[in-house]
Amino acid sequence: MKIAYSDEDLLIVEKPPGLADPAAELSRSHPEILKVGGRDRGACHRLDTGTSGLMVFARNEETYLKMRELFSKNKIKKEYLALVVGEVREGGRVDGPIGPDPKSKRRVKVYWNVKVGRKNKAQEAVSIYEPVGAPLGAPQRR
């Protein structure tokens, strides 16, 4: 994995899609992460196996605890880029708990019924989306 940023406290790496255990890969060159965060092995958050993106790893317990707190309190802004089927004409907002979809091990869903969401271990989430480009194969606007 390519290292995007490194200092004495943090490693920020570019996780490729398909990598299920980025800590195992990173620990080959940075074994100190194996002693941080218990089973998390330094990972301050997670990305799904099929998702690529930047991941933050702590190199010591103090940094790990602080970063976990910041992530859990939503103090760190995360942005994602997604490809969709169809056309998104304008932006919008989805404000509802997200949790595992009982119909599929590989999917999550928004629970509009909060009680059902809590039962299914959904977490509060707000997603703001906007189109950033023309559909694939569509002529570019100038």
d(CA 126, CA 108): 14
pLDDT confidence of residue 142:
53
Residues annotated as catalytic are: 48
d(CA 100, CA 106): 8
pLDDT confidence of residue 2:
94
Q: In what order do the strands lie in the sheet with 2-6?
A: 2-6, 10-15, 53-58
> Which of the residue ranges 32-36, 39-43, 90-94, 135-139 would you say has the lowest mean pLDDT?
135-139
In this predicted model, which residue has the larger pLDDT, 27 or 108? 27
State the pLDDT confidence band at 7, using cuts at 50, 70 and 90: very high
Question: How far is the CA of 38 from the CAs of 43, 55, 123, in angstroms?
Answer: 10, 17, 23
Q: Is the pLDDT of residue 44 over 80?
A: yes
Name the pTM for this structure. 0.75
> Which of the residue ranges 4-13, 18-27, 48-57, 127-136 would you say has the lowest mean pLDDT?
127-136
3-state secondary structure of 135: coil
Residues 6+ apart with CB under 8 A from 20: 49
Q: Is the pLDDT of residue 85 over 60?
A: yes
State the pLDDT confidence band at 140, using cuts at 50, 70 and 90: low
State the pLDDT confidence band at 141, using cuts at 50, 70 and 90: low
